[in-house]
Homo-oligomer: A and B are copies of this chain.
Amino acid sequence: MNTTGILEKLHRIDTERLHLEKAVAVLQWDQETYLPEMGVEGRSEQLALLESIAHERLTSPEAGRLLSELGSTTEDPRGDEKLPPLERDFLKTFRRKYDRAVKLPVEFVSEAARDEGLSQAAWVRARRASDFSAFLPHLVKMIDYSRQKALYWGYKDNPYDGLLDIYEPDMGEEAVSAVFTPLGERLKDMIRKITSQPRPDNSFLDAEFDIETQANFNRDLLKRLGFDTGRGRMDISAHPFTTTLGPDDIRITTRYLPRQVQSGIFSTIHESGHAFYEMDFPEEIRGSCLADGASMGIHESQSRLWENVIGRSRFFWEAMFPALRSCFPGALSLVSVDDFYRAINLVEPSLIRIEADELSYSLHIILRFELERELFSGNLDPAELPAAWRKKMKDLLGVEPETDSQGVLQDVHWSMGAFGYFPSYALGNLYGLQFWEKLKSDIPDAEEKIAEGNFAPVRDWLRDTVYVWGRRLEPPALLKTLTGKGLSAEPFLAYIESKYAGIYGI
């Protein structure tokens, strides 16, 4: 067969793999949004079967043969040098998926998938009842699966490196630690300074905000941001998320709390940031493994850029506050946009990650990173997690949860075995500000445009400079191409310093 024919065959395998993964995503989305309570067990069986079939397709001997025929090896994954650059990037990305999958036995994948479904359901119940002990056996299983996975991949010395690598290629525990340790110190310092200042008033946010009105405002916000509801939708789930169910079917979820109107709004904006990335990959990579985020950290850079740098800015609320105030005249009629801006940027270490301010947020992540590291080094017994969690919260944030629902049970990630994922959030903060610095030098009036309610220049820039690459460039190459530099916390820290100096007058 000629090269074109071989490539076509490999692309067909990739397409089928993708269709199966998307079918899995539909079943999972449904599980988080609409599945009746008793349906969980049946759904777990279905997911286990579909995931094992997806795994079989990806790891078929044919895929391995086609990769070899195109000159792609584990060491030199991009294949024959004469192939077009796009195809070589495809081979590199497909080979990475193939190599990871082929090392996992199909029964292992299927069992893990089944148990993940049960574990998530158990977590939902345990969180509701604040009963860590009911979740513990599932957690132990999830840790075991993850450790075994890393071992299958060859991470014998440090399985946690193998888990981090899933989300952030080639960034192991040491590299993350090297960034997180000084970042944590700087943030703790700044929080100390800020919290010694008079506390801005945010008491007006502690009012009753009608859920249906919140839903209307958020739907309108979505429209103003430019979210195409012909190619996506927004639903409600316990833990907001974004999922891609097809190239023209990108869904986000949010959640509304009756007394914290900002919670739903920032979930909506955060998930929209993920969705824009998924919606705007270029035509040439649609429907292939290249139509994906460069890494989880880069994906989070988009959601956190939209949520914080844009969504918690003075210029954003210049555009959006009048609409919010007219939705909630009772609570907000006497509130100015400046009052609101200060209130949503109140720095105050607290218990829940997804409700955290921009400074404590990364400390929440550092806490999870340090606990994961100890779980996988064997220094921490999972049964001791609640106590370890409380101790670290005290050290890093100076607060302590009274219940496990507000502590170790707050996040969905561990219940689905997604260890190594959390660091992406904090890395996303750093990447995001590196991109934003460049964006502002390219579009000096970006903030003024947003203040006028015009999000198009920012969306277009992100599409043309970040999304256009899909997974073709890995994070370091993407950063280099866009900013000429490597990963750095400086733009993030400079942004934080200047923003909060303004708010707190320090």
Contact = CB atoms under 8 A, between A and B. Distances in A.
Contacts of A30: 26, 30
Nearest to A43: B246
B247 A36 contact: no
B38 A231 contact: yes
Given A19-B45, A42-B246, A246-B43, A229 B36 contact: yes
B46 A246 contact: yes
Contact of A39 (B36, B37, B43, B249): B249
Given A26-B30, A27-B23, A49 B16 contact: yes
A248 B247 CA distance: 31
Contacts of A26: 26-27, 30, 46
B23 A231 contact: no
A42 B23 contact: no
Given A39-B245, A53-B53, A231-B39, A46 B23 contact: yes
Interface string A8-40: 000000011001101100110010001111110
A20 B35 contact: no
A232 interface: yes
* Chain A, interface SS category: helix
Interface in A324-338: none
A246 B39 contact: yes
Contacts of A53: 53
A320 interface: no
A49 to B, nearest CB: 5
A23 B35 contact: no
Number of copies: 2
A486 B406 CA distance: 64
A38 B279 CA distance: 12
Interface in A237-285: 245-249, 251
B42 A20 contact: no
Interface string A481-500: 00000000000000000000
B27 A46 contact: no
Contacts of A310: none
Q: Which of A43, A46, A228 has the largest count of B CB atoms less than 10 A from its CB?
A: A46
Interface string A199-231: 000000000000000000000000000001111
B36 A249 contact: yes
Nearest to A45: B19
A54 to B, nearest CB: 10
Contacts of A36: 229-233, 248-249, 251
A50 interface: yes
A41 B246 CA distance: 9
A19 to B, nearest CB: 5
Contact of A38 (B37, B46, B230, B251): B230
A442 to B, nearest CB: 30
B42 A22 contact: yes
A41 B45 CA distance: 27
A246 B36 CA distance: 10
Contacts of A233: 34, 36
A39 B279 CA distance: 12
A23 B44 CA distance: 11
A42 B247 contact: yes
A49 B37 contact: no
Nearest to A50: B23
A229 B34 CA distance: 11
A242 to B, nearest CB: 14
B38 A19 contact: no
Given A16-B49, A30-B30, A249 B23 contact: no
13 contacts: A19-B49, A20-B49, A23-B27, A26-B26, A26-B30, A36-B233, A38-B231, A39-B245, A42-B247, A42-B248, A43-B246, A43-B249, A53-B53
Query: What 10 A-B pairs have minimum CB-CB distances, sorted nearest first?
Result: A42-B246, A39-B249, A38-B248, A38-B231, A19-B49, A19-B46, A38-B230, A37-B230, A23-B46, A39-B248
Interface of A: 15-16, 19-20, 22-23, 26-27, 30, 34-39, 41-43, 45-46, 49-50, 53, 228-233, 235, 245-249, 251
Given A26-B30, A42-B249, 7 more contacts: A20-B50, A23-B49, A38-B248, A39-B231, A39-B245, A39-B248, A41-B248
